[in-house]
Amino acid sequence: MRQVRSGAPEVATPRMTARVLAVFYAFGGVAGLLALLGASPHSDHSWAVAGIATGALLTAAVLGHWGPRWPRAAFHLPVGAATGLIGTAVALAPDPLTALAIASIVCFVAVDAFFFFRPGPAVVHLGTALVGVTTVLVLRGDVPVPTALALVAVVVALGTVARDLSRRAASASRDPLTGLANRRGFDDALQELLAAADRRSEPLSAALLDLDHFKQINDTDGHEAGDLVLVRAAETWGARLPTGAVLARHGGDEFALLTPGLTGDATLALVERLTGLDLGTGVSCGVAQHVPGETGAQLMRRADAALYSAKAAGRGRSALDGDRDSRLATELAAAIAAGGLDIAYQPVVELGADGVIGVEALARWEHPERGAVPPDEFVALAEQHGLIPALGEQVLRTALTQLTALRAATGRQLRLGINVSVHELADPSYVPRVTALFAEFGWPADHVIVEVTETQLESDVAVVRQNLEALMALGPVVAADDFGTGYSSLSRIDVLPVQHLKLDTSFTATITTSPRREQLLASIVALADNLGLGLVAEGVETAEQDAALRRLGCRYGQGWLYGRPMPVTELAVWLDARSVDGAFSNVR
């Protein structure tokens, strides 16, 4: 991992280090050859020095080509080797002038050491180089000691300047608290890694990691506790990253990660491991894989969109951008937030009369590209991504707004059926929230029917049951929706917290197909009557079904035969021809 707490400058990426070292080796080689050309007299050793200079030129080529892929620690080798080569060439130089000229190449080591390494190892590199080269110079016997020391003074001054400059460069791109790269350091690394990924056609992914409820930690436990969490995150994650990965503090409680060589899926697996480590708070994460040609800003925008959908899904999760579901969930979240869902109202009628009991509000989502998304699909998506409470609230608010306007225009007080998921009912604040909405619109609570599917009613969660009982006590009627599709509730129908059954469309569709089916329906009607439950048959499409239902004593129906789900404007026209039946028998 590239970490800068220790003082290793952010400019020292493997690519930059390799490039600078290659340049120094090349010029060191050229300088050695030039010094040799000016030397006199030539000796056998001259060939050895020429060999070392040529070796330096070859090393430059190796560094330039393969160096960018080396881990950072590997660069200690060429820097250390430079000291060895310079020392040997100084020892073999044919005359003192050539020896001094070659010894001056040690300047490169001073610059390299402070630009590329932490201060400790940098001092070791420079110290070794100076002591080694000066000793060799002095041992030659033809270079006066003060002259050798003059060279040392120059190189020490150069090293000091290099250290200060590299520190400045590093602190501009370093976060002082965590020691990680800051946003600027991250952006530099992003540009560099993007270019490298495009050049080598290798994958590169980016992740944004956001600490959940960080503000709360700061507010309740103080800023020091918040700082501790940030430092712990940096240390815990930093120690577990693959080579070449860049971790940065991107904003207040947001970290950013770049994983060269890893696909989006592999990065998702990595961040799931990292965020699974205990930090004392949850972490949400969005991941995106770079697509060739895209800019860094575009990549980070996609990682941010994935982070948004991870948060919308209830936090503490990681999401990969581009996965169709998470994209659709993000769009659904945006549509809900913008109040972009529509409502279709389907009438519930009294069979055989022309009375309307009320309407069921059915959510509709018109996707800008895909057109109408089936409710079964987007409701399931909302359930998976934690969007149900927001969806339910928007549907209820819109329905109340439209139906109170309709009431004001027509004087008709309808019953409003709303579909509620256990994900909403599992929230202890559900009942106060909806009753506040009823009050806000002046909507009588006993004119609300809360429809919960039969299968969800079987939930054992205590708070769901308490909420249903609290609702019933406050006025709304609770209905078991899609009745006849669950398995266990017939045996528990007496204890389920409901007052009302809505016979599922699939059941209604079969009532006219056999005498035994009719008999089954007759038994359900009797059962509902005996238990004092209201019964509505859903999905009534034909006159035969309507006749069979009436014959068997089912009083209420809903289906295309009476009215399709329709927008509120159409509902107003549809209602004009019918009366509203205030009495909903069996219910209350």
Residues lying near ligand C2E in the complex (CB under 6 A) are found at: 346, 362-363, 374-376, 379, 392, 395, 419-421, 451, 481-482, 505, 538-541, 559-560, 565
Q: How far apart are CA 242 and CA 1, in angstroms?
A: 7
Q: How far is CA 54 from CA 312, 374, 418, in A?
A: 61, 73, 84
Distance between CA atoms of residues 533 and 489, nearest Å: 14
Q: Which is nearer to ligand C2E, 261 or 484 (CB)?
A: 484
List CB contacts of 244: < 8 A, sequence separation 6 or more: 14, 71, 259, 260, 261
> Which one of residues 253, 424, 451, 546 is an interface residue with Mg ion (CB under 5 A)?
451
Q: Output phi, psi for 485, to 5 deg.
A: -105, -15
CA distance 404 to 70: 70
Minimum Å gap between C-beta 374 and ligand C2E is: 6
Q: Please check whether residue 373 is in contact with residue 365, taking contact to mean a CB–CB distance below 8 angstroms.
A: yes
Site stretch for Mg ion (CB under 5 A), options 194-202, 213-221, 244-252, 413-421: 413-421
Stretch that binds Mg ion, among 178-186, 231-239, 412-420, 461-469 (CB under 5 A): 412-420
> Can the peptide bond before residue 94 be classed as cis, meaning omega within 30 degrees of 0?
no
Least Å distance between CB 540 and ligand C2E? 6
Contact (Cβ atoms closer than 8 angstroms) between residue 30 and residue 57: yes
Distance CA 401, CA 453 (A): 25
Other beta carbons within 10 angstroms of residue 77's beta carbon come to 10
Distance (Å, whole) CA 304 – CA 498: 43
Residue 362 binds which of Mg ion, ligand C2E, none (CB < 5-8 A, kind-dependent): ligand C2E
* Residue 419 near Mg ion by CB under 5 A: yes
- 146-151 contacts: CB < 8 A, separation 24 or more? 147/100, 148/103, 151/100, 151/103, 151/104, 151/106
CA 168 to chain centre: 33
Residue 38 neighbours by CB distance under 10 Å = 10
Q: Which is nearer to ligand C2E, 241 or 373 (by Cβ)?
A: 373
379 vs 464, beta carbon nearer ligand C2E = 379
Nearest to 173 by CA among 164, 163, 165, 183: 183
Pick 540 or 554: Cβ nearer ligand C2E? 540
Q: Choose between 210 and 538: whose C-beta lies nearer to Mg ion.
A: 538
In Å, how far are 383, 470, 491 from 494, measured between CA atoms?
Answer: 28, 18, 8
Cβ proximity to ligand C2E, 2 vs 423, nearer residue = 423
- Range list of β-strands (E), 392-514: 415-419, 448-453, 477-483, 500-503
**Strand extents, DSSP E, 185-308:** 204-211, 246-249, 254-260, 283-289
Nearest distance from C-beta of residue 539 to Mg ion, angstroms: 8
Query: Would you count residue 482 as binding Mg ion (CB under 5 A)?
Result: yes
Binding at 565: pick from Mg ion, ligand C2E, none (beta carbon under 5-8 Å per type): ligand C2E
Nearer Cβ to ligand C2E (294/570): 570
Q: How many residues bind Mg ion (CB under 5 A)?
A: 5
Q: Which helix (H) or strand (E) holds 546?
A: helix 543-552
Residue 427 binds: one of Mg ion, ligand C2E, none (C-beta under 5 to 8 A by kind)? none
**Choosing among ligand C2E, Mg ion, none, which partner's interface includes residue 582 (Cβ < 5 to 8 Å by kind)?**
none
Q: How far is the CB of 561 from ligand C2E (least distance, A)?
A: 7
Task: Please name the amino acid found at residue 445.
Answer: A
Q: How far is the CB of 336 from ligand C2E (least distance, A)?
A: 11
Radius of gyration (C-alpha) of the chain in whole angstroms: 38
- In the complex with Mg ion, the residue whose CB is nearer, 67 or 534, is 534
Q: How far apart are the first and last CA of the chain?
A: 68
For residues 438 and 444, what is the distance between their CA atoms, to the nearest angstrom?
7
Q: State the binding partner of 13 from ligand C2E, Mg ion, none, CB within 5 to 8 A by kind.
A: none
Host H or E run for residue 365: strand 355-367
As measured in angstroms, the least distance from the Cβ of 316 to ligand C2E is 23
* Closest distance of CB 218 from ligand C2E, Å: 36
Asked if 481 touches Mg ion (CB under 5 A), the answer is: yes
Which DSSP state fits 566? B
**Residue 559 interface partner, choices Mg ion, ligand C2E, none, CB cut-off 5-8 Å depending on type:** ligand C2E
Q: Which listed option, ligand C2E, Mg ion, none, makes contact with residue 560 (CB within 5 to 8 Å by class)? A: ligand C2E
Query: For Mg ion, which is the closer residue by CB, 192 or 451?
Result: 451
Q: Rounded to whole angstroms, how far apart are CA atoms 571 and 563?
A: 9
Question: Closest approach of Cβ 408 to Mg ion, in Å?
Answer: 26
Contacted by 12, from Mg ion, ligand C2E, none: CB < 5 to 8 Å by type? none
Residue closer to ligand C2E by CB (options 421, 489) is 421
Q: How far is the CB of 475 from ligand C2E (least distance, A)?
A: 20
Return the bridge partners of 277, or none.
none
- Chain positions 495 to 554 lying near Mg ion, rule: CB under 5 A, are 538
Could you tell which of ligand C2E, Mg ion, none binds residue 318, using a CB distance below 5 to 8 A set by kind?
A: none
**Closer residue to Mg ion (CB): 106 or 536:** 536
Q: How far is the CB of 421 from ligand C2E (least distance, A)?
A: 4
Given ligand C2E, Mg ion, none, residue 254, with its beta carbon under 5 to 8 Å by kind, binds none
Q: How far is the CB of 449 from ligand C2E (least distance, A)?
A: 11
Task: Select 100 or 587, whichever has its Cβ closest to Mg ion.
Answer: 587
Q: How far is the CB of 362 from Mg ion (least distance, A)?
A: 7
Q: CB 524 → Mg ion: shortest distance, Å?
A: 15
Residues ≥6 apart with Cβ < 8 Å to 506: 484, 485, 539
| Whether 475 contacts 584, CB under 8 Å | no
Site residues (CB under 5 A) for Mg ion? 419, 451, 481-482, 538
